[in-house]
Chains A and B, each alone.
Chain A
Amino acid sequence: MTNRNNPFLLANGKKPTCMEMLQLILDGEANHEQHEYFRSHMDQCMPCFKTYSLDMTIKELLKEKCCKDTVPAELIEQIKLQISQNTPS
Protein backbone atom coordinates (compact mmCIF):
# COMPACT_ATOMS: atom_id res chain seq x y z
CA MET A 1 0.00 0.00 0.00
CA THR A 2 1.55 3.27 -1.08
CA ASN A 3 1.49 6.04 1.42
CA ARG A 4 -0.63 8.44 -0.61
CA ASN A 5 -1.82 11.78 0.67
CA ASN A 6 -5.45 11.79 1.56
CA PRO A 7 -7.12 13.95 -1.13
CA PHE A 8 -10.06 14.53 1.23
CA LEU A 9 -7.89 16.41 3.76
CA LEU A 10 -9.77 19.48 4.92
CA ALA A 11 -8.39 22.98 4.53
CA ASN A 12 -7.46 23.06 8.21
CA GLY A 13 -5.47 19.84 7.81
CA LYS A 14 -8.07 17.83 9.71
CA LYS A 15 -8.64 14.27 8.60
CA PRO A 16 -12.20 13.82 7.34
CA THR A 17 -14.43 11.15 8.85
CA CYS A 18 -15.66 8.20 6.78
CA MET A 19 -19.09 9.82 6.60
CA GLU A 20 -17.66 13.08 5.30
CA MET A 21 -15.80 11.26 2.53
CA LEU A 22 -18.83 9.19 1.67
CA GLN A 23 -21.06 12.24 1.51
CA LEU A 24 -18.85 13.98 -1.06
CA ILE A 25 -18.94 10.84 -3.20
CA LEU A 26 -22.71 10.44 -2.91
CA ASP A 27 -23.41 14.10 -3.53
CA GLY A 28 -21.41 13.99 -6.74
CA GLU A 29 -18.82 16.45 -5.46
CA ALA A 30 -15.75 14.20 -5.32
CA ASN A 31 -13.01 14.50 -7.94
CA HIS A 32 -11.24 11.64 -9.66
CA GLU A 33 -8.47 11.43 -7.06
CA GLN A 34 -10.98 11.31 -4.22
CA HIS A 35 -12.95 8.56 -5.95
CA GLU A 36 -9.79 6.48 -6.36
CA TYR A 37 -8.80 7.04 -2.73
CA PHE A 38 -12.23 6.12 -1.46
CA ARG A 39 -12.29 2.97 -3.60
CA SER A 40 -9.14 1.65 -1.95
CA HIS A 41 -10.32 2.86 1.45
CA MET A 42 -13.44 0.68 1.07
CA ASP A 43 -11.26 -2.40 0.66
CA GLN A 44 -10.26 -1.98 4.29
CA CYS A 45 -13.38 -0.43 5.77
CA MET A 46 -16.41 -2.69 5.81
CA PRO A 47 -18.88 -0.12 7.24
CA CYS A 48 -17.98 2.29 4.41
CA PHE A 49 -18.35 -0.44 1.81
CA LYS A 50 -21.78 -1.40 3.16
CA THR A 51 -23.10 2.14 3.47
CA TYR A 52 -21.72 3.06 0.07
CA SER A 53 -23.43 0.08 -1.60
CA LEU A 54 -26.72 0.87 0.08
CA ASP A 55 -26.66 4.60 -0.61
CA MET A 56 -25.58 4.18 -4.23
CA THR A 57 -28.36 1.65 -4.78
CA ILE A 58 -30.88 4.14 -3.44
CA LYS A 59 -29.45 6.88 -5.64
CA GLU A 60 -29.69 4.67 -8.73
CA LEU A 61 -33.21 3.52 -7.88
CA LEU A 62 -34.34 7.11 -7.39
CA LYS A 63 -33.10 8.01 -10.83
CA GLU A 64 -34.66 4.93 -12.35
CA LYS A 65 -38.07 5.20 -10.66
CA CYS A 66 -38.69 8.91 -10.17
CA CYS A 67 -37.85 10.44 -13.55
CA LYS A 68 -40.32 8.66 -15.75
CA ASP A 69 -42.85 11.46 -16.09
CA THR A 70 -42.81 13.40 -19.30
CA VAL A 71 -44.59 16.67 -19.75
CA PRO A 72 -48.06 16.49 -21.36
CA ALA A 73 -47.58 17.31 -25.05
CA GLU A 74 -50.27 20.00 -25.14
CA LEU A 75 -48.55 21.99 -22.40
CA ILE A 76 -45.66 23.02 -24.66
CA GLU A 77 -48.13 24.23 -27.29
CA GLN A 78 -50.13 26.14 -24.68
CA ILE A 79 -47.02 27.89 -23.40
CA LYS A 80 -45.90 28.84 -26.92
CA LEU A 81 -49.36 30.14 -27.75
CA GLN A 82 -49.50 32.30 -24.63
CA ILE A 83 -46.10 33.77 -25.39
CA SER A 84 -46.96 34.59 -29.00
CA GLN A 85 -50.19 36.27 -27.86
CA ASN A 86 -48.33 38.39 -25.33
CA THR A 87 -45.42 39.38 -27.56
CA PRO A 88 -45.87 42.59 -29.51
CA SER A 89 -44.64 41.96 -33.04
Chain B
Amino acid sequence: MEETPKQQYSNREKNDIFNLEFLPHINSMYNFAFRLTLDRDDAKDLVQDTYLKAYRFIESFQKGTNAKAWLFRILKNSFINDYRKKTKEPSKVDYQEVEAYYNSEEVDRQITPDLRVESLKDMIGDEISNALNSLDVDFRTVIILCDLEGFKYEEMAKILDIPIGTVRSRLHRARNLLKEKLSAYAKLMGYKNTEL
Protein backbone atom coordinates (compact mmCIF):
# COMPACT_ATOMS: atom_id res chain seq x y z
CA MET B 1 0.00 0.00 0.00
CA GLU B 2 1.07 3.57 -0.55
CA GLU B 3 2.25 5.59 2.38
CA THR B 4 -0.62 8.00 2.85
CA PRO B 5 -1.88 9.37 6.13
CA LYS B 6 -4.59 7.10 7.47
CA GLN B 7 -8.13 8.38 7.07
CA GLN B 8 -10.91 7.82 9.56
CA TYR B 9 -14.19 6.77 8.06
CA SER B 10 -17.50 5.72 9.61
CA ASN B 11 -19.04 2.47 8.38
CA ARG B 12 -21.45 4.50 6.33
CA GLU B 13 -18.66 6.48 4.70
CA LYS B 14 -16.77 3.27 3.99
CA ASN B 15 -19.78 1.82 2.23
CA ASP B 16 -20.29 4.99 0.25
CA ILE B 17 -16.68 4.97 -0.94
CA PHE B 18 -16.93 1.31 -1.77
CA ASN B 19 -20.17 1.63 -3.71
CA LEU B 20 -19.56 4.96 -5.40
CA GLU B 21 -15.79 5.00 -5.98
CA PHE B 22 -14.66 1.36 -6.06
CA LEU B 23 -17.50 -0.69 -7.58
CA PRO B 24 -17.91 1.41 -10.75
CA HIS B 25 -14.49 0.09 -11.88
CA ILE B 26 -15.37 -3.58 -11.48
CA ASN B 27 -15.74 -4.34 -15.20
CA SER B 28 -12.32 -2.86 -15.96
CA MET B 29 -10.91 -4.75 -12.99
CA TYR B 30 -12.41 -8.02 -14.18
CA ASN B 31 -11.07 -7.49 -17.67
CA PHE B 32 -7.60 -6.73 -16.27
CA ALA B 33 -7.75 -9.83 -14.05
CA PHE B 34 -8.84 -12.02 -16.93
CA ARG B 35 -6.11 -10.70 -19.23
CA LEU B 36 -3.51 -11.35 -16.53
CA THR B 37 -4.63 -14.84 -15.48
CA LEU B 38 -6.22 -15.91 -18.79
CA ASP B 39 -8.70 -17.91 -16.75
CA ARG B 40 -12.23 -16.81 -15.85
CA ASP B 41 -12.35 -18.51 -12.44
CA ASP B 42 -8.96 -17.13 -11.44
CA ALA B 43 -10.09 -13.72 -12.66
CA LYS B 44 -13.17 -13.86 -10.45
CA ASP B 45 -11.09 -14.88 -7.41
CA LEU B 46 -8.55 -12.18 -8.11
CA VAL B 47 -11.22 -9.47 -8.40
CA GLN B 48 -12.88 -10.67 -5.22
CA ASP B 49 -9.57 -10.73 -3.30
CA THR B 50 -8.78 -7.25 -4.57
CA TYR B 51 -12.10 -5.75 -3.49
CA LEU B 52 -11.92 -7.40 -0.07
CA LYS B 53 -8.39 -6.05 0.39
CA ALA B 54 -9.50 -2.61 -0.82
CA TYR B 55 -12.22 -2.60 1.81
CA ARG B 56 -9.87 -3.80 4.52
CA PHE B 57 -7.36 -1.06 3.68
CA ILE B 58 -9.98 1.57 2.90
CA GLU B 59 -8.50 3.96 5.45
CA SER B 60 -5.32 4.15 3.39
CA PHE B 61 -7.46 5.50 0.56
CA GLN B 62 -8.15 9.18 0.41
CA LYS B 63 -11.70 9.91 -0.66
CA GLY B 64 -11.99 11.51 -4.09
CA THR B 65 -8.47 10.54 -5.25
CA ASN B 66 -7.69 8.16 -8.10
CA ALA B 67 -9.59 5.05 -6.99
CA LYS B 68 -9.09 3.26 -10.28
CA ALA B 69 -5.29 3.45 -10.17
CA TRP B 70 -5.32 2.45 -6.48
CA LEU B 71 -7.49 -0.62 -7.22
CA PHE B 72 -5.42 -1.62 -10.25
CA ARG B 73 -2.31 -1.45 -8.08
CA ILE B 74 -3.81 -3.76 -5.46
CA LEU B 75 -4.96 -6.16 -8.14
CA LYS B 76 -1.56 -6.26 -9.81
CA ASN B 77 0.19 -6.87 -6.48
CA SER B 78 -2.23 -9.67 -5.58
CA PHE B 79 -1.63 -11.20 -8.96
CA ILE B 80 2.13 -11.16 -8.49
CA ASN B 81 1.98 -12.48 -4.94
CA ASP B 82 -0.72 -15.12 -5.25
CA TYR B 83 -1.22 -16.11 -8.85
CA ARG B 84 2.07 -15.72 -10.59
CA LYS B 85 3.62 -18.13 -8.11
CA LYS B 86 0.75 -20.54 -8.61
CA THR B 87 1.06 -20.65 -12.36
CA LYS B 88 4.86 -20.59 -12.06
CA GLU B 89 5.11 -18.39 -15.08
CA PRO B 90 8.75 -17.41 -15.38
CA SER B 91 9.41 -13.79 -16.12
CA LYS B 92 10.99 -13.87 -19.54
CA VAL B 93 11.69 -10.19 -19.79
CA ASP B 94 15.23 -9.04 -19.57
CA TYR B 95 14.79 -5.39 -18.74
CA GLN B 96 18.38 -4.45 -19.22
CA GLU B 97 18.09 -5.76 -22.70
CA VAL B 98 14.93 -3.73 -23.15
CA GLU B 99 16.59 -0.55 -21.96
CA ALA B 100 19.58 -1.21 -24.18
CA TYR B 101 17.27 -1.75 -27.10
CA TYR B 102 15.36 1.41 -26.41
CA ASN B 103 18.49 3.50 -26.21
CA SER B 104 19.98 2.09 -29.37
CA GLU B 105 19.65 3.31 -32.93
CA GLU B 106 17.39 0.40 -33.67
CA VAL B 107 14.42 2.19 -32.19
CA ASP B 108 13.52 3.93 -35.41
CA ARG B 109 13.74 0.81 -37.48
CA GLN B 110 10.42 -0.31 -38.89
CA ILE B 111 9.94 -3.84 -37.68
CA THR B 112 6.90 -4.88 -39.63
CA PRO B 113 6.72 -2.97 -42.88
CA ASP B 114 4.49 -5.65 -44.35
CA LEU B 115 1.66 -5.26 -41.86
CA ARG B 116 -1.11 -3.15 -43.38
CA VAL B 117 -4.17 -1.39 -42.04
CA GLU B 118 -6.34 -3.35 -44.49
CA SER B 119 -5.22 -6.72 -43.16
CA LEU B 120 -5.91 -5.56 -39.61
CA LYS B 121 -9.43 -4.61 -40.59
CA ASP B 122 -9.89 -8.14 -41.90
CA MET B 123 -9.21 -9.53 -38.46
CA ILE B 124 -12.78 -9.86 -37.38
CA GLY B 125 -12.33 -12.84 -35.07
CA ASP B 126 -10.23 -13.27 -31.94
CA GLU B 127 -6.90 -12.50 -33.61
CA ILE B 128 -6.36 -9.18 -31.81
CA SER B 129 -7.36 -10.59 -28.46
CA ASN B 130 -5.21 -13.71 -28.95
CA ALA B 131 -2.24 -11.63 -30.03
CA LEU B 132 -2.54 -9.55 -26.86
CA ASN B 133 -2.92 -12.63 -24.67
CA SER B 134 0.14 -14.25 -26.24
CA LEU B 135 2.47 -11.47 -25.07
CA ASP B 136 4.58 -11.99 -22.00
CA VAL B 137 2.58 -10.78 -18.99
CA ASP B 138 4.71 -7.68 -18.36
CA PHE B 139 4.26 -6.49 -21.93
CA ARG B 140 0.59 -7.44 -21.92
CA THR B 141 0.08 -5.39 -18.77
CA VAL B 142 1.35 -2.07 -20.15
CA ILE B 143 -0.80 -2.43 -23.28
CA ILE B 144 -3.87 -3.09 -21.13
CA LEU B 145 -3.14 -0.14 -18.85
CA CYS B 146 -2.39 2.29 -21.66
CA ASP B 147 -4.54 1.26 -24.61
CA LEU B 148 -7.53 -0.38 -22.93
CA GLU B 149 -7.73 1.70 -19.77
CA GLY B 150 -6.11 4.98 -20.81
CA PHE B 151 -3.77 5.34 -17.84
CA LYS B 152 -1.02 7.98 -18.03
CA TYR B 153 2.72 7.23 -17.69
CA GLU B 154 2.70 8.55 -14.14
CA GLU B 155 -0.25 6.38 -13.10
CA MET B 156 1.27 3.29 -14.75
CA ALA B 157 4.56 3.93 -12.97
CA LYS B 158 2.70 3.94 -9.64
CA ILE B 159 0.58 0.90 -10.44
CA LEU B 160 3.60 -1.12 -11.56
CA ASP B 161 6.23 0.30 -9.19
CA ILE B 162 8.62 1.07 -12.03
CA PRO B 163 10.16 4.35 -13.26
CA ILE B 164 8.40 6.30 -16.03
CA GLY B 165 11.31 5.62 -18.40
CA THR B 166 10.73 1.91 -17.99
CA VAL B 167 7.00 2.36 -18.65
CA ARG B 168 7.86 4.08 -21.92
CA SER B 169 10.40 1.54 -23.08
CA ARG B 170 8.20 -1.38 -22.08
CA LEU B 171 5.24 0.09 -23.99
CA HIS B 172 7.40 0.68 -27.03
CA ARG B 173 8.67 -2.88 -27.01
CA ALA B 174 5.19 -4.25 -26.30
CA ARG B 175 3.75 -2.44 -29.32
CA ASN B 176 6.45 -3.88 -31.55
CA LEU B 177 5.92 -7.41 -30.24
CA LEU B 178 2.19 -7.06 -30.80
CA LYS B 179 2.78 -5.92 -34.35
CA GLU B 180 5.04 -8.90 -34.99
CA LYS B 181 2.29 -11.20 -33.76
CA LEU B 182 -0.37 -9.50 -35.88
CA SER B 183 1.93 -9.57 -38.86
CA ALA B 184 2.26 -13.34 -38.50
CA TYR B 185 -1.53 -13.68 -38.33
CA ALA B 186 -1.92 -11.45 -41.38
CA LYS B 187 0.50 -13.62 -43.33
CA LEU B 188 -1.42 -16.73 -42.35
CA MET B 189 -4.67 -15.12 -43.46
CA GLY B 190 -3.05 -14.07 -46.73
CA TYR B 191 -1.95 -17.63 -47.45
CA LYS B 192 -5.42 -18.88 -46.69
CA ASN B 193 -7.01 -16.33 -48.98
CA THR B 194 -4.79 -17.14 -51.92
CA GLU B 195 -5.47 -20.84 -51.50
CA LEU B 196 -9.19 -20.28 -51.93
Contact = CB atoms under 8 A, between A and B. Distances in A.
A71 to B, nearest CB: 4
B30 interface: yes
Contacts of A47: 110
B146 A65 contact: no
B178 A58 contact: yes
A87 interface: yes
A59 B27 contact: no
A70 B148 contact: no
Given A54-B116, A62-B132, A17 B143 contact: no
Chain A interface size, under 10 / 10 to 19 / 20 to 34 / 35 or more = 35 or more
B52 interface: yes
A45 interface: no
A27 B31 contact: no
Interface stretch (B62-70, B76-84, B87-95, B167-175): B167-175
Contacts of A61: 120, 123, 128
B160 interface: no
A70 B132 CA distance: 18
Closest 7 CB pairs of A and B: A71-B30, A65-B128, A19-B108, A79-B51, A62-B147, A61-B128, A71-B26
19 contacts: A17-B107, A23-B171, A27-B153, A27-B168, A29-B152, A54-B115, A58-B120, A58-B128, A58-B179, A61-B120, A63-B148, A66-B128, A66-B148, A67-B31, A70-B30, A75-B26, A75-B44, A78-B48, A79-B47
Interface of A: 17-19, 23, 26-29, 47, 51, 53-55, 57-59, 61-63, 65-67, 69-72, 75-76, 78-79, 82-83, 86-87, 89
